[in-house]
């Protein structure tokens, strides 16, 4: 893919969509990871630094290096930056809800993602801005995001870039090396990494998804790229089971009652 052209299309998309909405500014959750950093860079190019607010939302388990990387992004871009620690909000949720003894780390992790979404919308409401999504094509296809958490956004500028392409585009920008080099992590629990969760490296996932979505048979892709069928089957299962995250909630149809 011509990354310069892809960047121009995305920058134009951000400007056009906000223009259509009559809104001039955006709010971005900046985690210290590469997806949100790239979206912040693209939003600044489209809207100007004065129209982008970055919010970092650590909790007690967030490594201190993340705040430094998030701050560095904001400083390089010259955007407003706030830090909202979500630990007390999380603790209040958990103290308030009865019968939660079965909650696991992923259940709590999804709550963290939904708290972050609520904070971003609070600022978007208050400032008359939109919430920028940071989902990439790989995450969206696999449903590797929290429904109405990091998936609860107003637009998805990098949603047609595979994760490996996110890296490629980011390398063209003045992005901190530490962000370019770190392992992708949802940061929902200590030590979590995307590739451990997904069981297959992003390089392989992206290599496999593209031809399969273009119509090439799974077995043929497996043989051609030397990727075990078990990996391909597991990715396809994720894609199928998470289809509900890529559509609007179904509505019970009452048309038959309105025919006369
Ligand atoms: N067929 C269906 N039709 C309609 N709705 C359906 C459904 N199946 C489940 N659901 C609903 O969906 C819920 C499950 O979805 P969800 O709540 O999203 O939860 P789930 O998909 O179980 O977990 C989210 C996954 O995304 C990962 N994640 C989250 C956040 C950020 C990142 C990152 O990379 O940064 C990654 C996280 O580690 C975890 O693996 C169910 O509780 C149910 O409410
Ligand atoms: N600590 C945080 N502070 C602010 N926003 C966060 C935080 N954690 C997650 N988010 C938001 O949730 C999004 C989804 O997280 P995800 O891990 O997929 O992206 P990333 O951290 O930007 O990149 P990477 O996947 O490489 O870690 C982030 O892009 C960011 O917008
Ligand atoms: Mg991350």
CA of 202 to the centre of ligand 1 (A): 19
Residues with C-beta atoms within 5 A of ion ligand 3: 31, 33, 185
Q: Please, what is the angle between helix 202-213 and helix 163-171, to 10°?
A: 120
For residues 83 and 164, membership in a common domain is answered with yes
Task: Please report whether residue 75 resides in a domain.
Answer: yes
Separation of alpha carbons 40 and 38, rounded Å:
5
CA of 116 to the centre of ligand 2 (A): 10
For residues 215 and 106, membership in a common domain is answered with no
**Which ipTM score applies to this complex?**
0.98
For residues 107 and 214, membership in a common domain is answered with no
**Residue 190, marked binder:** no
Nearest CA residue ID for atom 21, ligand 2: 33
Exposure on the CB side of residue 238, measured as CA atoms within 13 A: 19
As for how many domains the chain has, the answer is: 2
**Nearest ligand to the C-alpha atom of residue 71:** 2
Task: Please report whether residue 255 resides in a domain.
Answer: no
For residues 177 and 218, membership in a common domain is answered with no
**Residue 114, marked binder:** yes
Nearest CA residue ID for atom 19, ligand 2: 35
Q: How does pLDDT run across 44-101, given as a tens digit for each residue?
A: 999 999 999 999 999 998 998 999 999 999 999 999 999 999 999 999 999 999 999 9
Contact 232, 198 (CB under 8 A): no
For residues 64 and 112, membership in a common domain is answered with yes
3-state SS track over 66-98: HHHHHHHHHHHHCCEEEECCCHHHHHHHHHHCC
DSSP character at residue 142: H
Q: What is the DSSP string of 106-127?
A: HHHHHHHHHHHHHHHHHHHHHH
| Full residue range of the structural domain in which residue 63 is found | 3-182
* Ligand 1 atom with minimal separation from the 113 CA: 30
Strand, helix or coil for residue 29: strand
Q: Residue 129 above 80 pLDDT?
A: yes
Question: Mutate which of 30, 31, 141 to test ligand 2's pocket (most atoms within 8 Å of Cβ)?
Answer: 31
Separation of alpha carbons 46 and 13, rounded Å:
8
pTM of the model: 0.96
Residue ranges with strand state E in the chain: 26-29, 52-56, 80-83, 130-131
**Residue 30, marked binder:** yes
Only one residue has tokens 């709550």, namely: 111
CA of 10 to the centre of ligand 1 (A): 27
Identify the burial level of 239 via C-beta atoms within 10 angstroms of its C-beta, where 0-12 means exposed, 13-18 middle and 19 or more buried.
middle
For residues 205 and 171, membership in a common domain is answered with no
CA of 176 to the centre of ligand 2 (A): 16
pLDDT at residue number 260: 66
Only one residue has tokens 């607010």, namely: 53
For residues 142 and 30, membership in a common domain is answered with yes
**Nearest ligand to the C-alpha atom of residue 116:** 2
Q: How does pLDDT run across 21-52, given as a tens digit for each residue?
A: 999 999 999 999 999 999 999 999 999 999 99
């Amino acid at each position: 893919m011509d990354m310069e052209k892809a960047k121009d299309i995305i920058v134009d998309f951000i400007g056009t969509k906000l223009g259509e909405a009559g809104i001039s500014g955006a709010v971005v959750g900046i985690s210290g990871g590469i997806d949100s950093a790239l979206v912040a860079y693209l939003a600044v190019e489209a809207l100007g630094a004065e129209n982008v607010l970055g919010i970092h939302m650590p909790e007690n388990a967030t490594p201190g290096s993340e705040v430094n990387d998030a701050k560095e992004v904001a400083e390089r871009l010259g955007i407003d930056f706030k830090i909202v620690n979500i630990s007390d909000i999380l603790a209040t949720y958990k103290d308030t809800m009865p019968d939660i003894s079965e909650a696991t780390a992923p259940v709590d992790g999804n709550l963290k993602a939904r708290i972050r979404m609520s904070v971003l919308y609070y600022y978007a409401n208050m400032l008359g801005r939109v919430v920028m999504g940071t989902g990439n094509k790989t995450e969206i296809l696999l449903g590797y995001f929290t429904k109405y958490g990091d998936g609860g956004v107003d637009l998805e500028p990098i949603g047609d870039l595979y994760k490996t392409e996110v890296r490629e585009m980011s390398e063209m920008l003045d992005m901190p090396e530490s962000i370019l080099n770190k392992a992708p992590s949802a940061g929902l629990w200590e030590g979590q990494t995307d590739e451990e969760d997904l069981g297959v490296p992003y390089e392989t996932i992206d290599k496999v998804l593209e031809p399969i979505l273009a119509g090439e048979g799974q077995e043929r892709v497996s043989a051609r790229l030397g990727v075990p069928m078990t990996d391909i089957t597991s990715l396809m299962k994720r894609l199928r089971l998470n289809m509900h995250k890529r559509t609007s909630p179904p509505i019970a149809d009452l048309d038959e009652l309105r025919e006369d």
